[in-house]
Amino acid sequence: MHIVIVGNGIAGITCARFVRKMSDHKITVISSETDYFYARTALMYIYMGDLTYENTKPYEDWFWEKNRINLVRAFVRDVDANGKYVWLDNDKKIHYDKLVLATGSKSNKLGWPGQDLHGVQGFYSLQDLQLMEQTTKEINRAVIVGGGLIGIELAEMLHSRDIPITMIVREEVYWGNVFPQEEGEMVADKIREHGIALRLQTEITEILGDENKRARAVKTTDGDEVPCQWIGLAVGVHPDLYLAEKAGVETQKGIMIDRHFQTSQPDIYAAGDCAQFRDPLPGRPPVEQVWYTGRIQGETLAHNLVDDPVEYNPGVWFNSAKFLDIEYQVYGTITNTPKEGVKSLLTQDKERDKLIRIDYDEETGQVIGFDLLGVRYRHHVCDKWLKEGAHIREVLQNIKAANFDPEFRNSYEHDLVRQFNEQNPGQEIELKPKRKLWQKIFG
């Protein structure tokens, strides 16, 4: 059997690796982006001079031939779902028995006048990085449109080269579709502390160009004109549906799949950023565009391709990032606005460099999520509590077991306990000594 995978990102490559572990099937991976798989999340560090492209490749170049994974550098321009062929841009065709679409995402453009001018771009691929290297040389000022993770990455990259930046974000708080207000305000303060101009509740209406069709400024809804020679678009990404539509596969926002990654066409599957679950798991989005979920999807899909049916089960939601010098972690469910029946315990230090939020169900006491800025908790501890539906009393009494940072101060934990005791009179608790926690939790 010949398995053809279009896309060499984390989902496609993980799928190829696990198919090889479990079978002797012929495997071909096709990509027009790069010859070899690389860590997309490390692109920013190439620009900042901390890594080279070679440093971002998890596997040596000989790995693929040794493991009989055939790599093809080409653009797939068409799919014949009836004849089971993919057509390449060099007019060659490759027959498949099973086809995997792992085509990833594309940066959003929202139809602004001037959005196709030179110096206006998104940031997703290695080609985007190479374009950014060319177009940010000798510029005097940059504008980033949008926030979130891509926006802060672009800001940190440009800031590392001392390029003045204005960030234009339409939300009332930074990353307001994800962050509760306190987290959004804390990150916004940190952005400004680094000398980056952050303008909230503002949108651009037009990108202005010069006589050479290069961006020279943006106009905003405030009526201002902000001079710049480079504009980074960080208003999200959308699944790349080009091949799915060519193959006659059903699409909505993404390529529609079941929990075995099967599309509407026989023997065509999809995974990663481009895929959309028909029946999402409870509390999960239908399109999951996170590195670790792409890896789990690729591994699960591999089982289904070798006739070992396995349903997608990614476990507890987790994400992590870095906002300049503040590390961010989220475990479980944290909503950006207060939810009925959910209580929050929240503590911040006076310097607003550290924040801890623990949400729990008011009726049952079950902990449902952790939000952390500038503080690290142990993944396996939080994951265990959330999987087992631990009660908030148990979590707080044993919270020191989650501490990862050696410099972490007990005062934060005592503040969480104090808040719980105030919220729940008559049910007061006390912290337990740390040395006894590990014996209780891990034996």
Long-range CB contacts for residues 421-424, cutoff 8 Å, separation at least 24: 423/343, 423/345
Considering the domain architecture, whether residues 328 and 295 belong to the same structural domain is answered as no
Does residue 408 form part of some domain? yes
Considering the domain architecture, whether residues 331 and 242 belong to the same structural domain is answered as no
- Cα distances (Å, whole numbers) of residue 100 to 11, 20, 78, 231: 10, 15, 14, 34
Average pLDDT, the chain: 93
Model confidence at 137: pLDDT above 90: yes
The model's pTM is 0.91
Provide the pLDDT for residue 408: 47
Model confidence at 316: pLDDT above 80: yes
* Dist. CA 225–CA 220, nearest whole Å: 7
What's the mean pLDDT in 219-238?
Answer: 95
Provide the pLDDT for residue 430: 80
Considering the domain architecture, whether residues 327 and 412 belong to the same structural domain is answered as yes
Does residue 111 form part of some domain? no
What's the mean pLDDT in 368-386?
Answer: 95
Confidence of residue 87 (pLDDT cuts 50, 70, 90): very high
Considering the domain architecture, whether residues 125 and 223 belong to the same structural domain is answered as yes
Instruction: Select from 219, 235, 251 the last residue of a domain.
Output: 235
Q: For the chain, what is the domain count?
A: 3
Q: Which residue range(s) make up the domain with 77?
A: 2-106+238-305
Considering the domain architecture, whether residues 339 and 437 belong to the same structural domain is answered as yes
- pLDDT, tens digit (0-9, with 9 covering 90-100), for 418-438: 888 888 888 888 876 655 544
**Which range has the worst mean pLDDT, 86-95, 103-112, 413-422?**
413-422
What's the mean pLDDT in 284-298?
Answer: 94
Model confidence at 58: pLDDT above 50: yes
CATH of the domain at 168: 3.50.50.60
Model confidence at 235: pLDDT above 60: yes
- pLDDT, tens digit (0-9, with 9 covering 90-100), for 178-208: 999 999 999 999 999 999 999 999 999 999 9
Considering the domain architecture, whether residues 153 and 204 belong to the same structural domain is answered as yes
Considering the domain architecture, whether residues 187 and 279 belong to the same structural domain is answered as no
What's the mean pLDDT in 406-419?
Answer: 71
Residues of the chain with pLDDT > 70: what percent?
Answer: 96
Considering the domain architecture, whether residues 218 and 322 belong to the same structural domain is answered as no
Instruction: Select from 235, 258, 278 the last residue of a domain.
Output: 235
Considering the domain architecture, whether residues 91 and 169 belong to the same structural domain is answered as no
Considering the domain architecture, whether residues 158 and 64 belong to the same structural domain is answered as no
Considering the domain architecture, whether residues 90 and 135 belong to the same structural domain is answered as no
What's the mean pLDDT in 414-420?
Answer: 87
Confidence of residue 92 (pLDDT cuts 50, 70, 90): very high
